[in-house]
Structure formats: structure tokens, C-alpha cells
Chains A and B, each alone.
Chain A
């Protein structure tokens, strides 16, 4: 219940602030929440909107799956080997703090203009934080867990799957929650810059036309989706902690 209440409260506060801002600015530059909502309803009835939405959904889903699996696997690999972990942590942190937009031309050169470039961009945003979360969780795990696994004769693979992963699962879920939001961000940015479809493109295109209700309607929809995904993962997180 709480996991629904939290996002709902955030949404209510946002809406209120929005309405106040709209009244304060008092021009068409910022449509009111009601006007936005009505535009959203209109959009939801258009086939073109759904084509864009499905592009984004596909890229987002692929980015989430790949960056989650990749981030956890890489995090375990680096975390299990202390030297690899200490060497790669600053590299990852620095890599992540680069403004990733500057790397986008490189991504486009490698992947072309198709959906794979946007997936790659989503992964670039989402995977590194999850890798760092996973790696640090392993470095902070009680050493006696791995020693126990060793004396019970577990192989490194068995140790990873049946000791390390369950031991760090709460941290991994937190990292995945962060990673999922960042994947969505990455995919949308990718769509905004070099793409002819997807919700990110739709927002950019509407902006060029000065169609503010559409810009805000899509933004609202994305905010709702992001909050719902977060709430679902938060519920999962709580369920795992008993």
C-alpha cells in the first residue's frame, strides 16, 4: 500500500506546483494540467502515438534486460576478484561521470541510426551504476560467507549463484531500480538526438512546432510510467527483505 501512496503523493505535489506555475506564468507557454491531460487523452487515441510508444517500449525493455543482466554479471565478476574490483572502480566512476551525450556520435557510428543505438545508449546510462552497486555489495559482504562456501566445496560458479547473489540481492535490487530509471532516460535522450521515431523524438518534434500540450502530455505519461516501475521494484525490494 505504502509503495502506491508514495508515488501518488509525489504526483499530487507535482500537479499542484504545475497548476500554480501555470497560473503564475499566465500564458500559453505552459499549458495547465487539465489541458495537458486532455491532450494526453487525444494522443492515446492516435495510432501514430502508439507507434512511437511501442518503439520506445521496445528499446527500453531491451536496454533494461541487457543492462540488468550485464550489470549484475560484471559486478559479480569484478567484486569476486578484489584486484579487478579495486582497479576498475575508479575507471567505472570516471567513465560514468563523463557527459554521455558527448559519446553519442560514437555510439551512432558503431550502431547506426536504428533502434540498437538507442538501446546501447540506454545501457550506457543504466549498466554502470548497477555494476558499481553489485561490486560494492560484494566487497562489503561478510567474508565468512565466501569462506563457508569454500569449505563446503563449492565451485566459484556455485558460490556466485547460491551464496553471493542471495547475500547481495537487496543491494542489487536497489541498484536495478536506479538502473531502470536511467535506462529510460538514456533511451529517451537517444531518441531526441538522432531518431525519427519514439517518444523522445515525438517530444522534440512537438517542441519544434511549439506544440506545448503534446510535449507536456508525453512528459506526464513518462513520469507516470517511471513512477509505476519504481513502485513495482520498491515493492519487490520490500518483499525480499521480508
Chain B
């Protein structure tokens, strides 16, 4: 094999390894340049490696959900390009699953029917649906509630229903927008463990938006810190955790260092947000 051919192989594998690529992505609401337009995001440059756990932290209103919408194909970037698995994102890409910030469980369906919903619309055969739903419901600890309606569940359990509903579609990229925002601290840590378990099991790429620095520090391979609106990445922190990890790493000495560094970056930005109101 020639040197040139080797280089080409290396290049291809690098491209294969790159699951998501954002280049110069900006999002402006309203017509750019007009007084009422809102520059919500960017320019953002970000590459996600296949299978990595990436978290985004940033002050409120900095454009985190907007970023997620771009990746989910729900919102077109005003400028720049967004790619998933080497193809430009145009509409919702197959293989991307989303857990939204608000409770998105359908109140007119039971837990099991909620989880089966996407698969049924996709025309997956009944036996396969039953198998996958059973697994996801069990994985999320909802077995005893499979026949219950969302109104009978707590907020945390409803969010688990939404995670299970995304999980059964077997996405290769999972986007989560503050999924545990409404939960208490203890439940959040435990849900974090479940998320890590899910991530290892599915080997999907995960992008988690959170406002909890400890959550980001504990769960992620890398954490991106965003500035106040218009959000850009002002720092990306490598945590260096092993794949086999759980919430107990909060007692690791490096955990404090990472959280500290995140806060140091974020403090100034959050102050800006407070002042600008």
C-alpha cells in the first residue's frame, strides 16, 4: 500500500468517526438586520465523535434549544452547514431521536402505547414492536406502569416514558433537552445513571443539554460551555472519564476540578444574562 493510499484510509476513518458536524451555524429569528430579529445562536463550529457523550451548558436563553432544533432538523440554520453522518441535515434525519424540554408524553395513550407509538407509525411488525417496547419499558423501570396513563405518573416517570419512546426507535444520535430539569437533585443523579447505562447499551452518540453543571461534569466525555445569547462555544472541557462510570464519580477529586472550571467560564456569562435581564 502506498503512503498516499494509507493517508486516504486514515482520512476516511476520521470522517467515519465524525458523527455530527456543525460549521459556522447561525440562527436568526425574523428577517436578519431588521430591528425585531433575534440573533439566537452562533456561529457554532462543533464536531461530535461517533459514540461520544457531549453535554452543553449555558446561561438561560443562550440558544441551547435552538441548537438542538437545528440538529433535529426542526429548524434550518440561517447560515452555515449542519451534517449528520456525512449528509446535510434537511428535515428530520432518520436515526436521530429527541427528548424535549417539556413533557411530550401523549395523555390519551397508555405508557406502553406511548412507547410503541413511533414504531407503529413506522410500520414495524407487531412482534418486533412488542419485543422492543417490553425491553424499553423494563429498561426505564416502568414495567408496573405499562398500562397506566401519563396523568397517573409523576413528572420524572413521564420523562422516562419519553426517553423510552425515543429509545425504541434505536436512534444513532440521541438529543436530550434538559430532560431532568423539573426533577429533584437525587432523582436527577439516578436518572443520570440510567442515561449512562442507556448510552453504553446503545452505543449511540448523545448530546445532552442541561443547566446543571454537576450533571454535565459527571455524565459527559466532553462539555461545551456556551456564552450568553447569541450562544457560541467559549470552552470545551474534556472530562477524561472511563466509559464505565456512574454517579459515584462525584466523589472523585477531578469532578470538583471540572465543575469548578465549568462554573468559572459560565459565571461571567450568567452575570451578563442577569444584567441584561
Binding site for B on A (CB under 8 A): 142, 144-145, 147-148, 150-154, 158, 162-163, 166-167, 169, 242
Contact = CB atoms under 8 A, between A and B. Distances in A.
Contact of B104 (A145, A154, A162): A145
Interface of B: 72-74, 92, 94, 96-98, 100, 102-104, 106, 108-109, 117-118, 121-122, 149, 165, 169
B92 A151 contact: yes
Interface of A: prevailing SS = helix
A147 B104 contact: yes
Contacts of A153: 92, 94, 118, 121-122
A142 B101 CA distance: 12
Contact of B74 (A147, A152, A166): A147
B106 A166 contact: yes
A150 B118 CA distance: 10
A142 B106 contact: no
A210 B137 CA distance: 72
Contact of B102 (A144, A158, A242): A144
Contact of B118 (A142, A152, A166, A167): A152
Contact of B106 (A154, A163, A242): A163
A142 B102 contact: yes
A151 B72 contact: yes
A169 B108 contact: yes
A169 B118 CA distance: 20
30 contacts: A142-B102, A142-B104, A144-B102, A144-B104, A145-B104, A145-B106, A147-B100, A147-B104, A148-B98, A151-B72, A151-B73, A151-B96, A151-B97, A151-B98, A152-B118, A152-B121, A152-B122, A152-B165, A152-B169, A153-B92, A153-B94, A153-B118, A153-B121, A153-B122, A154-B121, A158-B121, A166-B108, A166-B109, A167-B108, A242-B149
B122 A144 contact: no
Nearest to B120: A162
Contacts of A154: 121
- Residue among A148, A154, A158, A166 having the largest count of chain B Cβ atoms under 10 Å: A148
Contacts of B73: 151
Contacts of B106: 145, 163, 166-167
B28 to A, nearest CB: 19
Contacts of B118: 152-153
A171 to B, nearest CB: 13
Nearest to A148: B104
A150 B92 contact: yes
A145 B104 CA distance: 6
A171 B263 CA distance: 47
Contacts of B102: 142, 144
Given A145-B106, A158-B121, A163-B106, A150 B100 contact: no
Nearest to A240: B108
Contact of B117 (A142, A147, A152, A242): A152
Contacts of B109: 166
Nearest 4 A-B pairs (CB), nearest first?
A: A152-B118, A166-B108, A144-B104, A151-B98
B91 to A, nearest CB: 9
A97 to B, nearest CB: 33
Given A142-B102, A151-B98, A154-B121, 14 more contacts: A144-B100, A144-B104, A145-B104, A147-B74, A147-B100, A150-B74, A150-B92, A151-B92, A152-B122, A152-B165, A162-B121, A166-B108, A169-B108, A242-B149
A154 B109 CA distance: 17
Nearest to B162: A148
A152 B96 CA distance: 9
- Residue among A147, A162, A167 having the largest count of chain B Cβ atoms under 10 Å: A147
